[in-house]
């Protein structure tokens, strides 16, 4: 055995850790009755290499052979901690402490596990005892601060952390605890002052520089973060972390530059999976250049990551799912987790944006209720965080005969949300005073200027935190605030958690209840209103006809070609312009099934993903399963320039359960009929509302068989399709969808009525 231990020692000195582990495991397997030292060396190496499952097995064997060896019990405790087997870890450390009560290491490890478990009370008692015995030990002071912070004793925690950095100015973890706590308290100026002191003592510490950047970003001050990082470039010209942080910062408003920095970060630090995942996310979100190539590059990088490791963190799972959704990799998506597992992981980690992608995965009624709960989980956490740091509420303003209404969205610009919201700004009810709130990171355009000129106040604050935004809105003393963006890019749904207005509502931008109990109303109409009340968290505010209307952006600038696409092409073309996050295997198979039943017909995907080889491959496989060959599937890889392509489509088929909205309206405007499947929840009834208000509600079905039959009947009725192509646009103009002034009148009347129903919040009507 001595010879083997010498070989182990030689291997470790040479950095051949795996060889040393193999030698030790072979020796101990052959003869388990070896000295404790052999087991200790093995356990230390297994711990250092992250082989915790093996470490647990060998630590159990070691403890059985050497039950009086304190260090073996201590090692077993820290290994079990990594496996999150906390009760067993505590028991192992208790055994170590019993063997040597005066040794600090197992007690510190025990305290760390208590902190992992969230047991601040017992951790406080333990670290108080240790710090009293050794008051100049910076680690004890820091851990005591963490125990106090766990209990909400923030001021006491700050005192301990300040003491820790006073004792040890190079104690970076304690500096970070201090800065993080001050940031949570929204005391950013103090956090930056403290960061100055930390960097003065540790000028080249990467973690501190990154922490300062994160401070800026969490406050919404992205350009300050960029400037800070740019100033550091001469000092750290080849630092992967700096390139990474620049990329993560610029991603908010300049994707091309962000991608360049992220690619540089990956090249400098190829072992950093976090850098690769952030690049993958940024590429997937890049809309400039060749979008299909961007997606293909993101998918290639993702495959490389997945070949090396299993993704576990909710952030990485979200990034992976978004790429896989874009290319219709349904089997790979299923591997990430079940509907409940994935949705709850995202909700619990604050990733509301990912919940939108859950809508297409709904299959049963239980899924619909589960989706509601996932949104509530997110909402409860956000409201609890807001309650910890309330805003100052303004006193009631003097009654002036006006109802003060606010619209919050970063999409009040050239964006589909603005296209449908414009009637409310073009036809403002004289009883109302209108305010808008935007956090858009780009440049002002003509639509934003138009809206700004028509409202009482347009608060455009790209660099602002959610809490500061809530305080800004509260100062305007609104009667009601309506959010239009959900948690899509650059919007701040969590602002409503502070309830900056006495009444709050959601409309237009997100097709599901947001999850906040502070949102009182949800704007819908008789068609889109859920079939069952439990499928909506908020109180429905029901418009008399339609929940949306076409703004001035819907003009005759996109002419409808003469005749039918079928006559020009020589075959009938079905198609869709809907986002792949609305697709599922069932949807693609349903579309393919319709094409298979219409001889010679084809199906067109009018999507930028059509330029991605992986998307085409996966889509073609699903169509092939229904007997439709690749020659019958067309890909138009376009974004933003898709309206003329409708002149090549005879019939569009709606996805389900999440139906079209903007795409349904655009298709009808171009004279193309839409076949839709109606479900129970709001997001399953968007097209039903649009089609019914347009006067073609007969194109809606309540089951898949009916959906297929409507599509087949329409395919076989060329004269009906000709009539629809010739009359639909004018029909829409004369419908509730096209009467913008009447829509605005109904909308403002509905809001006035809702406020009047609550006398404490109502304003006198002019």
pLDDT for position 1: 52
Nearest to 55 by CA among 66, 65, 37, 40: 40
Stronger pLDDT, 488 or 541, i.e. the higher one: 541
Q: Sorting pLDDT into bands at 50, 70 and 90, what band is 763? A: very low
Bridge partners of 701, per DSSP, are: 677
pLDDT for position 556: 84
Q: Which of 360, 388, 416 is the last residue of a domain?
A: 388
Bridge partners of 652, per DSSP, are: 575, 674
3-state SS record for 605-631: EECHHHHCHHHHHHHHHHHHCCCCCHH
pLDDT tens readout for residues 674-704 = 999 999 999 999 999 999 999 999 999 999 9
Query: Which residues constitute the domain of residue 369?
Result: 311-388
Same domain, 498 and 452: yes
Same domain, 487 and 632: no
pLDDT for position 412: 95
pLDDT for position 4: 64
| Longest CA–CA separation in the chain, Å | 97
pLDDT beyond 60 at 378: yes
Nearest to 686 by CA among 528, 459, 526: 528
What is the rounded average pLDDT of the residues 63-82? 95
pLDDT tens readout for residues 524-552 = 999 999 999 999 999 999 999 999 999 88
Same domain, 732 and 594: yes
With beta carbons less than 8 A apart as the criterion, state whether 256 and 283 touch. Answer: no
Same domain, 339 and 435: no
Residue 253 lies inside a defined structural domain of this protein: no
What is the rounded average pLDDT of the residues 732-754? 97
Q: Which of 324, 356, 388 is the last residue of a domain?
A: 388
Provide DSSP, 348-410: HTT-HHHHGGGGGG--SHHHHHHHHHHHHHHHHHHHHHHHHSPPPPPPPPPP-S-EEEEEE-T
pLDDT for position 246: 97
Same domain, 414 and 532: yes
Same domain, 574 and 625: yes
Give me the number of domains the chain comprises.
3
Percent of the chain with pLDDT over 90: 87
Residue 112 lies inside a defined structural domain of this protein: no
Q: How far apart are CA 578 and CA 325, in angstroms?
A: 13
pLDDT tens readout for residues 170-199 = 999 999 999 999 988 888 899 999 999 999
Same domain, 580 and 703: yes
Bridge partners of 482, per DSSP, are: 407, 505
Contacts 24+ apart (CB under 8 A), 279-285: 279/247, 280/305, 280/319, 280/320, 280/323, 281/251, 281/319, 281/322, 282/247, 282/251, 282/255, 282/258, 283/259, 284/319, 284/322, 284/323, 284/326, 285/251, 285/255, 285/489
Q: Which of 343, 359, 388 is the last residue of a domain?
A: 388
With beta carbons less than 8 A apart as the criterion, state whether 86 and 117 touch. Answer: yes
Residue 588 lies inside a defined structural domain of this protein: yes
Provide DSSP, 627-681: T--GGGEEEE--SS--GGGGGG-SEEE--SSS--SHHHHHHHHTT--EEEE--SS
Nearest to 36 by CA among 58, 10, 6: 58
The encoded tokens of residue 325 equal 């959704």
pLDDT for position 2: 59
SS3 573: strand
Sign, CA torsion 223/225/227/230: negative
Matching residue, tokens 């709960």: 373
What does the buried/exposed string (b/e) look like for 684-721 if buried means 16 or more CB atoms within 10 Å of the residue's CB?
bbbbbbbbbbbbbeebbbeeeeebbebbbebbeeeeeb
Cβ-Cβ contacts under 8 Å for 582 (sequence gap 6 or more): 359, 360, 655, 658, 659, 660
pLDDT for position 765: 33
Contacts 24+ apart (CB under 8 A), 188-193: 188/215, 188/219, 191/215
Percent of the chain with pLDDT over 70: 98
CB atoms within 10 A of CB 169: 16
The encoded tokens of residue 182 equal 């001050």
CATH number at residue 504: 3.40.50.11380
Matching residue, tokens 């139906």: 659
Q: How far apart are CA 89 and CA 131, in angstroms?
A: 23
Q: Sorting pLDDT into bands at 50, 70 and 90, what band is 72? A: very high
The encoded tokens of residue 415 equal 């964006």
pLDDT tens readout for residues 595-617 = 999 999 999 999 999 999 999 99
What does the buried/exposed string (b/e) look like for 488-511 if buried means 16 or more CB atoms within 10 Å of the residue's CB?
bebbbbbbbbbbbbbbbbbbbbbb
Same domain, 376 and 409: no
pLDDT tens readout for residues 496-519 = 999 999 999 999 999 999 999 999
Q: Sorting pLDDT into bands at 50, 70 and 90, what band is 759? A: very low
Same domain, 362 and 478: no
482 membership: H or E segment, kind and range = strand 480-483
Cβ-Cβ contacts under 8 Å for 140 (sequence gap 6 or more): 127, 130, 131, 134
Q: Which of 253-257, 300-304, 321-325, 758-762 has the lowest mean pLDDT?
A: 758-762
CATH number at residue 588: 3.40.50.2000
339 conformational bin, left if phi > 0, alpha if psi -120 to 50, beta if neither: alpha
3-state SS record for 747-760: HHHHHHHHHHCCCC
Same domain, 583 and 476: no
Q: How far apart are CA 661 and CA 280, in angstroms?
A: 28
Nearest to 612 by CA among 391, 297, 296: 296
Residue 622 lies inside a defined structural domain of this protein: yes
Residue 59 lies inside a defined structural domain of this protein: no
pLDDT tens readout for residues 265-284 = 999 999 999 999 999 999 99
pLDDT beyond 80 at 292: yes
pLDDT tens readout for residues 196-234 = 999 999 999 999 999 999 999 988 899 999 999 999 999
Residue 199 lies inside a defined structural domain of this protein: no
Q: Which of 247-261, 644-658, 746-760 has the lowest mean pLDDT?
A: 746-760
Same domain, 376 and 429: no
Q: Highest mean pLDDT range out of 14-18, 36-40, 726-730?
A: 726-730
The encoded tokens of residue 349 equal 């980690």
Q: Sorting pLDDT into bands at 50, 70 and 90, what band is 764? A: very low
Residue 144 lies inside a defined structural domain of this protein: no
| HSE, side-chain direction, 13 A CA sphere, residue 185 | 18
With beta carbons less than 8 A apart as the criterion, state whether 694 and 527 touch. Answer: no
Cis ω for the linkage preceding 468 (within 30 of 0): no
- Mean pLDDT rounded to a whole number for the chain: 94
pTM for this prediction? 0.87
Residue 602 lies inside a defined structural domain of this protein: yes
pLDDT for position 766: 28
Same domain, 625 and 539: no
């Amino acid at each position: 055995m001595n010879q083997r231990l010498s070989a182990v020692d030689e291997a470790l000195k040479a950095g051949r850790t795996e060889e040393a582990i193999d030698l030790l495991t072979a020796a101990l397997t052959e003869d388990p009755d070896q000295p404790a030292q052999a087991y200790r060396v093995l356990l230390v190496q297994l711990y250092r290499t992250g082989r915790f499952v093996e470490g647990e097995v060998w630590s159990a064997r070691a403890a059985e052979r050497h039950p009086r060896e304190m260090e073996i019990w201590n090692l077993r405790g820290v290994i079990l901690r990594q496996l999150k087997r906390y009760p067993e870890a505590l028991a192992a450390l208790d055994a170590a402490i019993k063997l040597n009560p005066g040794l600090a290491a197992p007690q510190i490890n025990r305290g760390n596990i208590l902190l992992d478990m969230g047991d601040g009370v017992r951790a406080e008692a333990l670290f108080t005892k240790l710090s009293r015995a050794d008051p100049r030990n910076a680690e004890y002071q820091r851990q005591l601060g963490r125990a106090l912070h766990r209990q909400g004793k923030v001021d006491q925690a700050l005192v301990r952390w300040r003491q820790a950095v006073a004792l040890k100015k190079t104690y970076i973890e304690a500096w970070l605890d201090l800065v993080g706590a001050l940031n949570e308290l929204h005391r950013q100026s103090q956090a930056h002052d403290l960061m100055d002191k930390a960097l003065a003592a540790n000028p080249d510490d990467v973690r501190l520089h990154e922490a300062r950047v994160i401070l800026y970003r969490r406050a919404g001050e992205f350009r300050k973060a960029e400037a800070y990082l740019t100033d550091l470039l001469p000092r750290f010209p080849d630092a992967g972390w700096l390139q990474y942080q620049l990329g993560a910062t610029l991603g908010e408003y300049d994707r091309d530059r962000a991608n360049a920095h992220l690619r540089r970060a990956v090249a400098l630090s190829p072992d950093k999976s976090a850098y690769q995942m952030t690049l993958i996310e940024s590429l997937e979100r890049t809309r400039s250049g060749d979008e299909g190539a961007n997606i293909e590059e993101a998918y290639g990088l993702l495959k490389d990551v997945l070949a090396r490791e299993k993704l576990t963190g909710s952030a990485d799972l979200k990034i992976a799912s978004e790429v896989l959704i874009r290319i219709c990799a349904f089997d790979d998506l299923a591997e990430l987790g079940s509907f409940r597992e994935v949705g709850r992981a995202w909700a619990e980690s604050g990733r509301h944006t990912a919940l939108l992608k859950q809508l297409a995965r709904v299959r049963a009624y239980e899924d619909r209720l589960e989706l509601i709960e996932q949104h509530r989980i997110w909402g409860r956490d956000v409201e609890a965080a807001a309650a910890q740091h309330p805003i100052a509420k303004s006193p009631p303003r003097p009654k002036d005969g006006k109802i003060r209404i606010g619209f919050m969205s970063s999409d009040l610009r050239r964006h589909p949300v603005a296209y449908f919201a414009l009637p409310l700004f073009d036809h403002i009810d004289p009883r109302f005073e209108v305010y808008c709130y935007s956090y858009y990171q780009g440049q002002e355009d003509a639509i934003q200027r138009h809206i700004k000129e028509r409202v009482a106040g347009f608060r455009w604050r790209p660099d602002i935190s959610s809490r500061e935004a809530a305080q800004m809105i509260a100062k305007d003393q609104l009667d009601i605030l309506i959010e239009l963006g959900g948690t899509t890019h650059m919007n701040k749904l969590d602002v409503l958690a502070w309830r900056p207005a006495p009444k709050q509502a959601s409309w237009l931008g997100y097709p599901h209840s947001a999850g906040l109990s502070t949102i009182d109303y949800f704007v819908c109409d008789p068609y889109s209103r859920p079939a069952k009340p439990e499928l909506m968290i908020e109180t429905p505010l029901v418009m008399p006809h339609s929940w949306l209307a076409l703004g001035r952006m819907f003009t005759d600038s996109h002419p409808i070609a003469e005749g039918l696409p079928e006559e020009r092409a020589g075959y009938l073309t079905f198609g869709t312009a809907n986002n792949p996050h609305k697709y599922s295997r069932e949807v693609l198979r349903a579309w393919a099934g319709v094409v298979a039943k219409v001889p010679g017909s084809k199906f067109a995907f009018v999507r930028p993903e059509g330029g991605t080889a992986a998307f085409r491959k996966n889509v073609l496989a699903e169509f092939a399963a229904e007997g439709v060959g690749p020659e019958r599937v067309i890909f138009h890889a376009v974004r933003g320039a898709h309206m003329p392509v409708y002149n090549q489509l005879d019939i569009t088929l709606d996805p389900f359960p999440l139906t079209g909205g903007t795409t349904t309206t655009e298709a009808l405007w171009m004279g193309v009929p839409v076949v839709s499947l109606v479900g129970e929840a709001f997001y399953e009834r968007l097209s039903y509302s649009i089609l019914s208000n347009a006067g073609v509600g007969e194109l809606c079905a309540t089951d898949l068989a009916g959906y297929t039959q409507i599509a087949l009947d329409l395919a076989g009725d060329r004269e009906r399709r000709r009539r629809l192509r010739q009359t639909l646009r004018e029909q829409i103009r004369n419908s509730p969808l096209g009467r913008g002034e009447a829509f605005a009148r109904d909308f403002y009347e509905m809001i006035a009525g809702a406020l009047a129903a609550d006398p404490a919040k109502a304003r006198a009507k002019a």
